[in-house]
A and B are shown apart, each in its own frame.
Chain A
């Protein structure tokens, strides 16, 4: 046992030390780049999460439920290693919009709603007060345990007073400057180190000092402490989720994470350093619990193992260190929580009331700043007083952990509105309000009031209020058999989320809500400066100056207005009260009194606002627009690619055509040259050798004649094709009965076919229709195809089949021979001039027949194509438009 005097002296000395640290840091922190703005300090400040509940309660929880205590730290670990998803955005929004508290964030997001701010503030106060009481209780019980004193509530009173003094002194120095408190943060960081060192020291003592090694300590572990099959149950999952929600939503946690953040990059370091801190502080919890159960006398309070263990082994210095560690955990929580709550109460409850008063006595130049600071000081004192009162009245019987978890479920009610607000554009004020109120009421009824004990009548718990069993607080609507914590979480959070989503979808937003939603959800794409683009306000600069003086104080307001005037390029006097200036002023004020109050004040001064809806739609649809732009770009790219592709193909075709033209010229000269040569040589013979006999002469002349005819025909064909291709040829279209033209064509080549032994047949019955074509040209095409079939058919029993049918307003004539047709590779080329298929023996025909036929078919509005059968053989198909039915056909 240590003497009370010594303990008090040590505690007092420690507090004085903290005062010095805070005082020095407050001086230092003003400077940029000071060590106080390092990521390590930021991380240590985050450890305000680990309260006396951690220090004493986690060991107690471990002694009762084994590994379950770890969930309290695993939830925050998951949130911090997953900083990319939530914290990154929260911190950015906090910085851009000068958020002062979690209530401010929620209210600002939903159109700067004062009602939402009040609801969140009330939930936070209800959840936090018992929590503060717990910290005080932990200080007194540890004091009693270590000193042996009996009724130390007097100590608790003085501790509460001391904490209030510290908090008021360092936590309410100014109302602006983004609510950063360097002195407090430095003190919290020192306390963070103290509690970690103390707990680790006790842990090392438990493992190696008491048990004698890792193996030895776990040898003494009771079998029921860690039952592997029962660890990962519904309660485990619920507690991890709750702890994760708490690290985002607890007012003090939000304050250190978002409001006190000086550099977004600190979050990166904290993403692993804070989980590491929690890992280290949890490492020895289980061993201390085991050692306490094994070596301390039966019936010792597990919540005090941390102190009782060193005391039992007469390690007074270690016990003292543990006491200081616990003291640190408790005080840091109380300080930060009361600062965070005092900001919320003064900004969201006092400021709106003061605003009304300010309006009613317009002439009076009351200083709002003093009022707000006073209200914060009063709030801090009141919170600690309430906590103390709660402690003495309730004389808390429940374990430390129970109240902590109750508070977790309470603040978790803010999570849907907060996360929905920063992720989902469609979340509305009504939805957030409905979810929050319903969730909070259910939380109070199913968890908070039952946990208080004695507030709800006994028979309510067992039989339900007024005997209605469906309304039993811990088995609502018959949902019995669940752990009370899981039960309350499922009902309150479930209803909260359901109402939040459905009401949001059923209600519409005001213009300001829409603007704020866009600014928050797209915070990485917009900036606070976007505001004035959409909100138009008019005000007298003098009114605004008076307003600023009242809230910021005369000197800071003068400085701000000078800066704004300079930014507008004015040397002296007040700045012009344009939209941008009003918006900037509102943001500055929001950093002091919160978004909703600042908005209301500026609104009064400017006499309303016009949110330009058309402009607003632009920003509200920004994501949409960006997506559209991206889509358009992508479309353009594909289009460009397609065009490039087409160009490439066209280029290739042009090259091929160019080559074909060259080929054509050389072919033409070659084809012309052959007959010309023979004509020339025979004429020369006739000229130079008069003694040629008459028979010879006649033969030569016949050759010359035949060659001339061939030459003429060739030239005709070339002329023909160029006329056809250039479109000069005049081809009169008339009705051509198909049956007639087919038989004529067969008659024309019958002699030739007979000569070659080719049998020609007309397949099926030819339809009684007429094509719109030129009879001569069509005949020419058919004769050409037929004679090709006759000439180039290498089959032993050559046969040609003609086939005709109508198909969708067109008539198709197939000319097929059993020689196999052309190959797929040739199909492209045979319609080029002077090309002959591989089946054609060399030097037979000029290779102009098919190109001419195709050109003619096309000129008549039809086609000539090669059609492939499945076995690879092919035939020719002529397609022509059908002639409209007319009496002429009946005459056929």
Chain B
């Protein structure tokens, strides 16, 4: 079980990143954490809070781009990772079921 093939593991890392990213976004923009930056003051002439909201927003976009690129390259390369997003063949579901009775024709 621990011997997952290398490409498979890389693909799973991208999936984990894609799943985790919105949570990071929620922590940055919707949680009490954002209150840390609810202070007066300016950075580069911009009020701190404005800079924080747009900075966090930009950061999330950058990471999202990184993750999307990673997943796209993953999709183009190993066929076993492709199955995760590309349509799965029906036979896949059938064989997983095993005991499903064949449809009467």
Q: Which residues of A contact B (CB under 8 A)?
A: 67, 70, 74, 77-85, 88, 92, 96, 213-216, 218-219, 221, 226, 228-229, 231-232, 237, 240, 264-265, 268-269, 271-273, 275-276, 279, 282-283, 286, 524-527, 529-530, 532-534, 536, 578-579, 615, 618-619, 622, 625-626, 629
B61 touches A77 (CB 8 A): yes
Q: A240-B30, A275-B64 are in contact. Are A228 and B93 (CB under 8 A)?
A: no
Q: Does B5 contact A (CB under 8 A)?
A: no
Q: A226-B49, A268-B68, A579-B103 are in contact. Are A77 and B96 (CB under 8 A)?
A: no
B101 touches A615 (CB 8 A): yes
Which chain B residue lies CB-closest to A78? B25
Q: Does B9 contact A (CB under 8 A)?
A: no
Which residues on the A side are within 8 Å of B90 (C-beta)?
A: 527, 529-530
User: CA of A40 to CA of B54 in the docked complex: distance in angstroms?
Assistant: 23
Which chain A residue lies CB-closest to B51? A218
B60 touches A81 (CB 8 A): yes
Q: A74-B57, A265-B75, A268-B71 are in contact. Are A286 and B50 (CB under 8 A)?
A: yes
User: CA of A80 to CA of B93 in the docked complex: distance in angstroms?
Assistant: 29
Which chain B residue lies CB-closest to A83? B18
Which residues on the A side are within 8 Å of B64 (C-beta)?
A: 80-81, 271-272, 275
Which residues on the B side are within 8 Å of A264 (C-beta)?
A: 85-86
Q: How far is the CB of A279 from chain B (nearest CB, A)?
A: 6
Q: A74-B29, A269-B68, A271-B68 are in contact. Are A283 and B54 (CB under 8 A)?
A: yes
Q: Nearest 9 pairs between A and B by C-beta?
A: A82-B22, A215-B45, A272-B64, A272-B65, A228-B38, A84-B18, A533-B103, A81-B64, A228-B49
Q: How far is the CB of A169 from chain B (nearest CB, A)?
A: 34
User: CA of A218 to CA of B45 in the docked complex: distance in angstroms?
Assistant: 7
Q: How far is the CB of A611 from chain B (nearest CB, A)?
A: 13
A622 touches B75 (CB 8 A): no
Which residues on the A side are within 8 Å of B101 (C-beta)?
A: 615, 618
Complex partner residue of B26 from A78, A229, A618, CB under 8 angstroms: A78
Quick one: which of B49-105 are within 8 Å of A by CB?
49-50, 53-54, 57-58, 60-65, 67-68, 71-72, 75, 85-88, 90, 92-93, 96-101, 103-105
Quick one: which of B13-37 are within 8 Å of A by CB?
15, 18-19, 21-22, 25-26, 29-30, 32, 34-35, 37
B22 touches A85 (CB 8 A): yes
- Contacts A271-B67, A272-B64 known; 19 new A-B pairs at CB < 8 A: A70-B53, A74-B29, A77-B61, A81-B61, A81-B64, A84-B15, A84-B19, A214-B45, A215-B42, A218-B47, A228-B38, A269-B72, A282-B54, A532-B103, A534-B103, A536-B104, A579-B103, A619-B100, A625-B98
Which chain B residue lies CB-closest to A81? B64
28 A/B residue pairs, CB under 8 Å, sorted by A: A70-B54, A70-B57, A80-B64, A85-B19, A85-B22, A96-B87, A215-B45, A218-B46, A218-B47, A219-B45, A221-B47, A226-B47, A226-B49, A226-B50, A228-B38, A228-B39, A240-B30, A268-B68, A276-B61, A276-B65, A279-B54, A279-B61, A525-B88, A525-B93, A527-B87, A527-B93, A530-B90, A625-B98
A272 touches B61 (CB 8 A): yes
User: CA of A213 to CA of B105 in the docked complex: distance in angstroms?
Assistant: 75
User: CA of A279 to CA of B90 in the docked complex: distance in angstroms?
Assistant: 41
Q: How far is the CB of B78 from chain A (nearest CB, A)?
A: 16
Report which residue of B32, B37, B60 has the largest number of chain A beta carbons within 10 angstroms of its beta carbon. B60
Q: A228-B38, A618-B97, A625-B97 are in contact. Are A524 and B88 (CB under 8 A)?
A: yes
B30 touches A214 (CB 8 A): no
Q: How far is the CB of B48 from chain A (nearest CB, A)?
A: 7
Which residues on the B side are within 8 Å of A536 (C-beta)?
A: 104
User: CA of A527 to CA of B90 in the docked complex: distance in angstroms?
Assistant: 6
Complex partner residue of A231 from B38, B45, B68, B96, CB under 8 angstroms: B38
Complex partner residue of A228 from B40, B45, B92, B97, CB under 8 angstroms: B40
User: CA of A85 to CA of B16 in the docked complex: distance in angstroms?
Assistant: 11
Which residues on the A side are within 8 Å of B30 (C-beta)?
A: 237, 240
B85 touches A81 (CB 8 A): no
Q: How far is the CB of B100 from chain A (nearest CB, A)?
A: 5
Size range of the chain B interface in the assembly: 35 or more
User: CA of A270 to CA of B72 in the docked complex: distance in angstroms?
Assistant: 12
Which residues on the A side are within 8 Å of B58 (C-beta)?
A: 279
B100 touches A240 (CB 8 A): no
Q: Which residues of B contact A (CB under 8 A)?
A: 15, 18-19, 21-22, 25-26, 29-30, 32, 34-35, 37-40, 42, 44-50, 53-54, 57-58, 60-65, 67-68, 71-72, 75, 85-88, 90, 92-93, 96-101, 103-105
Which residues on the A side are within 8 Å of B85 (C-beta)?
A: 88, 264-265
Q: How far is the CB of A548 from chain B (nearest CB, A)?
A: 22
User: CA of A218 to CA of B50 in the docked complex: distance in angstroms?
Assistant: 10
Q: How far is the CB of A240 from chain B (nearest CB, A)?
A: 6
User: CA of A77 to CA of B57 in the docked complex: distance in angstroms?
Assistant: 8
User: CA of A21 to CA of B16 in the docked complex: distance in angstroms?
Assistant: 41
B50 touches A81 (CB 8 A): no
Which chain B residue lies CB-closest to A95? B87
Which residues on the A side are within 8 Å of B99 (C-beta)?
A: 618, 625
User: CA of A215 to CA of B26 in the docked complex: distance in angstroms?
Assistant: 30
Complex partner residue of B93 from A77, A92, A622, CB under 8 angstroms: A622
User: CA of A527 to CA of B50 in the docked complex: distance in angstroms?
Assistant: 47
A229 touches B18 (CB 8 A): no
Which residues on the B side are within 8 Å of A268 (C-beta)?
A: 68, 71-72
Which residues on the A side are within 8 Å of B54 (C-beta)?
A: 70, 279, 282-283
Report which residue of A78, A88, A282 has the largest number of chain B beta carbons within 10 angstroms of its beta carbon. A78
Which residues on the B side are within 8 Å of A232 (C-beta)?
A: 32, 34-35, 38
Which residues on the B side are within 8 Å of A218 (C-beta)?
A: 42, 45-47, 50
Which residues on the A side are within 8 Å of B32 (C-beta)?
A: 232
Q: A67-B50, A276-B61, A629-B96 are in contact. Are A82 and B21 (CB under 8 A)?
A: yes
Q: How far is the CB of B62 from chain A (nearest CB, A)?
A: 8
Which residues on the B side are within 8 Å of A237 (C-beta)?
A: 30
Q: How far is the CB of B94 from chain A (nearest CB, A)?
A: 9
User: CA of A525 to CA of B83 in the docked complex: distance in angstroms?
Assistant: 11
User: CA of A70 to CA of B49 in the docked complex: distance in angstroms?
Assistant: 12
Which residues on the A side are within 8 Å of B37 (C-beta)?
A: 228
B100 touches A618 (CB 8 A): yes
User: CA of A525 to CA of B53 in the docked complex: distance in angstroms?
Assistant: 39
Q: A67-B49, A82-B21, A272-B61 are in contact. Are A214 and B38 (CB under 8 A)?
A: no
Which residues on the A side are within 8 Å of B93 (C-beta)?
A: 525-527, 530, 622
A525 touches B61 (CB 8 A): no
Report which residue of A80, A81, A83, A264 has the largest number of chain B beta carbons within 10 angstroms of its beta carbon. A81
Q: How far is the CB of A233 from chain B (nearest CB, A)?
A: 10
Which residues on the B side are within 8 Å of A67 (C-beta)?
A: 49-50, 53
User: CA of A622 to CA of B18 in the docked complex: distance in angstroms?
Assistant: 26
Which residues on the B side are within 8 Å of A269 (C-beta)?
A: 68, 72
User: CA of A74 to CA of B85 in the docked complex: distance in angstroms?
Assistant: 26
Which residues on the B side are within 8 Å of A77 (C-beta)?
A: 25, 57, 60-61
Q: How far is the CB of B49 from chain A (nearest CB, A)?
A: 4
Which residues on the A side are within 8 Å of B96 (C-beta)?
A: 525, 625-626, 629
Q: A218-B42, A226-B49, A615-B101 are in contact. Are A81 and B22 (CB under 8 A)?
A: yes
Complex partner residue of A78 from B18, B29, B50, B71, CB under 8 angstroms: B29
Complex partner residue of A265 from B19, B67, B72, CB under 8 angstroms: B72
Which chain B residue lies CB-closest to A215? B45
User: CA of A746 to CA of B3 in the docked complex: distance in angstroms?
Assistant: 64
Complex partner residue of B44 from A214, A228, A530, CB under 8 angstroms: A214
User: CA of A533 to CA of B90 in the docked complex: distance in angstroms?
Assistant: 12
Which chain A residue lies CB-closest to B37? A228
User: CA of A85 to CA of B15 in the docked complex: distance in angstroms?
Assistant: 11
User: CA of A622 to CA of B99 in the docked complex: distance in angstroms?
Assistant: 11
Which chain A residue lies CB-closest to B92? A525
Which chain B residue lies CB-closest to A625? B97
User: CA of A221 to CA of B40 in the docked complex: distance in angstroms?
Assistant: 13
Report which residue of B18, B19, B44 has the largest number of chain A beta carbons within 10 angstroms of its beta carbon. B18
User: CA of A275 to CA of B58 in the docked complex: distance in angstroms?
Assistant: 9
Q: How far is the CB of B91 from chain A (nearest CB, A)?
A: 10
